[in-house]
Structure formats: C-alpha cells, structure tokens
Amino acid sequence: MYEAAKVIYEKVIPHVVDFLQTHGEHARFQFTGHSLGGSIAVLVSLMLLIRNVVRCSMVEPFVTFGSPFVLCGGRKLLDELTLDDAQIYNVIMHGDIVPRGFSCSIPGFLISILKLFKRSLHSHPCLNEN
C-alpha cells in the first residue's frame, strides 16, 4: 500500500505546492477516501507531514470510509507528529470485513505460520507487538 501512496504523493505534490503558494498560512488540507483509497489518503497525508511539506495546523482530520488500518505501530507515529486520535476518522459499516481483514491484531498461531513463509516478517512490528 505504501508503494501506491508514493505514486499518488508524486502526483499530488505539485498541486499541494501550488495551493500553498496561493494560500500561504491560510492553506488547509483534508484527504479522504473509501476502502484502500482511504488508507492511501491517510498515508499521503502523513507523508506530507513527515516530509515537512505542510504543518500539522494545515491538515484537517483524515476521513476514511471502510478503510484498512495502516498504522501498525499504534500511537507511535501520531505521537511523534503530535497528532491526537481525533486526526483520523474511519467510518465503518457493521458487517464490513475490509477494515478488519487487514488488521494489525493477528492471532498468535497465524503469526507463527506467516513467519515460516517469509523471513522478513520476523521483525515486523505488527507481528511482534501483539
């Protein structure tokens, strides 16, 4: 998903820069999306913040609809950016499996199986902090 977010980031960055030049300190951004698009919207927003393209005060809460969870590190990244939980709204329908299907809460037996198949998963934060 990060690879997709990088592609989208490269496409939106010229527009973000133009908007910043036009509106200066008054510029405000809000990204939203549905399903995987929502997850990519969150990642692109975070990339803009982390890369110091925009300041936290310029970014309105991210709003997603039925999007898979992308912050496997829990609050760590939000804390580093001084963002609170209210910065991300994810609207989920009761029976929607997509937001739950990519959850970072993975049962122990499944973690063991995943680690057998891919060596790089041995140090993955989602699989070691459950």
Tell me the pLDDT of the chain (130 aa) as tens digits. Answer: 788 899 999 999 999 999 999 999 999 999 999 998 999 999 999 999 999 999 989 999 989 998 887 776 667 778 888 888 788 888 888 877 777 665 555 666 666 777 777 777 667 666 665 4
Rounded to 5°, angle at Cα 115 from 112 and 120: 155
Residue 130 is predicted with a pLDDT of 46
Tell me which residue range forms the domain holding 24. Answer: 2-101
Residue 68 covered by a domain: yes
Say how far residue 27 (Cα) sits from the centre of its chain.
21
Residue 120 covered by a domain: no
Residue 28 is predicted with a pLDDT of 96
Distance CA 39, CA 94 (A): 19
Sheet holding 32-34, edge to edge: 32-34, 62-65, 88-91
Local structure of 75: helix, strand or coil: coil
Contact (CB, 8 A) for 46 and 78 = no
How many domains are there within the chain?
1
Contact (CB, 8 A) for 54 and 27 = yes
Residue 85 covered by a domain: yes
Side-chain-facing half-sphere of 32: CA atoms under 13 Å:
8
